[in-house]
Amino acid sequence: MGMSGDPCDDDADFGRRFIYRQQIARAQEYRHDADLRQNRGQEERGGYRLDSESDRLKQWPNVRTMIRTFFFFIRFSYLRVKQVGFMEGMELKQQFDELQKIFDRCIKHACRVFEERIATKTVRLDSEQRQAQERQEYNRIADELAELYMHHSVLSDLRFCYSEPAFLWEGGFFEALNADEKRKYLAFSVPSFDYSRYERDNTAYDAELPYFSAVVNIVVRERYAAYLRQREISISESSQKSASIAVPPIAETENPFDSILTDEQIAYLAAAVNDVKMFNVSLSADELKAIFACKPEAIVRSNNNRLVAFFFSGLSSRGLITPNWQSVIATHKLFLSKDTSRDKYINQSDLSTATNYIRDVGVEGKYATLEKYLMQVKRL
């Protein structure tokens, strides 16, 4: 007989074989009883009678059949129990998935309300005031969570699984319920849930779904607290980043470049820098003058380190700035590298590599443009 892919078909086939073997066993019993009666009749008429050994030999096949039948019955029962357990598990998972959708709807709405409220409260505050307000909010939420856990110890596992999309199934909440509470969750009709009724009274379904409002309150506050923690980390990282980039180092000496450039020459050089697009922004004469003084108003990003090296090397070779210009730029962190994926200052090694490169290339393109400006600057 061919095997079927459906376990129910296999069980039905096995059941038929089980009944068939029982019928054979009964037929053998009837035939054996008939033989015994026939022997007794022959004995009474002077015929022969089987000895006890022969009787036992005739009975032995029937005993083997009974043993096989017993084991077949045990296997059949095991398969039925296993199948029923599997089906019950699938039905339980489906019920939990539907219940999770109800929890998710209530939780997501409340989380959105909390996040919008704190955003409204802090929209007109500066960074420091906003951080203080959010810390105060975080402390309030932490107190509310402690109160909820204190009154609902059965929900303590939620602190470890609140971020799980299927926390109802994955967490230990259901296992912590008593038998009656579990039956209520399994018997609850999901289509009967009325969200408007829940909005009017968040505890409206606590009798049908034990701890429903408490679960929502805990998960909402755990996720909101995590949101506030992440905001604080982001603001802190942003502040550190701004401090490392926007606040330039202050020069200890009055003229670190030993520059002898006049204001007129610096204005001319600012035009040269902008002409070849040396940096990510255009520079005014005052901004370039602040760079030569190592007191820039903001840190600019290099578009081409080789152009930077060509420019300062040309000024140095003409005696307009110090030969140690590479060290000055690196020490005072005047420029950021071209790589926008990270905020890395141009160091002395970068400038040295760029300088070695420009010694071996011809003066053409943007290099030729810069060279024309540099040749004219001493004549001003």
* Per-residue model confidence (pLDDT) at position 270: 93
* Per-residue model confidence (pLDDT) at position 320: 94
Strand runs labelled E in the chain: 300-301, 335-336
Each residue's pLDDT tens digit, 324-359: 999 999 999 999 988 776 778 999 989 988 888 887
* Per-residue model confidence (pLDDT) at position 50: 45
How far apart (Å, rounded) are the C-alpha atoms in residues 10 and 72?
A: 14
* Per-residue model confidence (pLDDT) at position 126: 78
**What is the phi-psi region of residue 337: left when phi exceeds 0, alpha when psi lies from -120 to 50, beta otherwise?**
beta
Residue type, 317: S
* Per-residue model confidence (pLDDT) at position 61: 52
SS3 content of the chain, % helix, strand, coil (to 5): 70, 0, 30
Report whether 264 contacts 380 (CB < 8 A). Answer: yes
How far apart (Å, rounded) are the C-alpha atoms in residues 251 and 222?
A: 48
Each residue's pLDDT tens digit, 164-221: 999 998 888 888 999 999 999 999 999 999 999 999 999 999 999 999 999 999 999 9
* Per-residue model confidence (pLDDT) at position 143: 95
Which residues partner with 301 through β-bridges? 336
Q: Identify the segments of the chain with pLDDT beneath 50.
A: 1-8, 47-51, 53, 57, 81-88, 241-247
* Per-residue model confidence (pLDDT) at position 78: 52
Nearest alpha carbon to residue 175 among 155, 148, 160, 159: 155
* Per-residue model confidence (pLDDT) at position 1: 43
